[in-house]
Amino acid sequence: MPFPMPSGGAGGLGALGALIGPAMMLALALQKRGPVRTLSKAAADSPESARKAATLGLSEPPLAPLIRAGVVVRETDGRIWLNRVVARRRQWQLALIVGGAMIVLGTMIYLILSL
């Protein structure tokens, strides 16, 4: 059974709003510097150049998943540093997952609209 299409011009504006809203939220999220970019900018990428999270303005909640993934390494004295090799690998993995999801979603939308 096909989806009912709204009549009038408001349906198109609603669809446009459904695309612009998430895009704006993503743009705002990308403007704020995350822990990886902060550590990279501070050149804290080895045990010798490790820094305390508080001196960089980083809090614990955003760091926890990065530490579990090995992207950020915590020394025994509490200093942290960025493992660039793991960070690059994780960035590619996330890009592939998001790209694959977008392709699947685009294909599904195309198939639904072409019926």
Q: pLDDT digits over 17-46, tens only? A: 667 777 777 776 666 668 888 888 889 889
Output DSSP code: residue 43. T
Please determine, for residue 16, whether its predicted confidence score (pLDDT) is greater than 80.
no
Cβ–Cβ < 8 Å for 90, 96: no
- pLDDT of the residue at 34: 80
Give per-residue pLDDT as tens, 61-101.
888 899 999 999 999 998 999 999 999 999 899 899 999 99
Handedness of CA 41, 42, 47, 52 (dihedral sign): negative
Beta strands 72-74 and 51-52 are unpaired
- pLDDT (0 to 100) of residue 7: 55
Question: What's the rounded Cα separation, in Å, for the pair 50 and 2?
Answer: 58
Global confidence as pTM: 0.60
- CA dist 71 and 89 (Å) reads 9
Does position 3 have pLDDT exceeding 90, yes or no? Answer: no
Q: Distance between CA 7 and CA 88 in Å, rounded?
A: 48
Question: Is residue 11 scored above 60 in pLDDT?
Answer: no
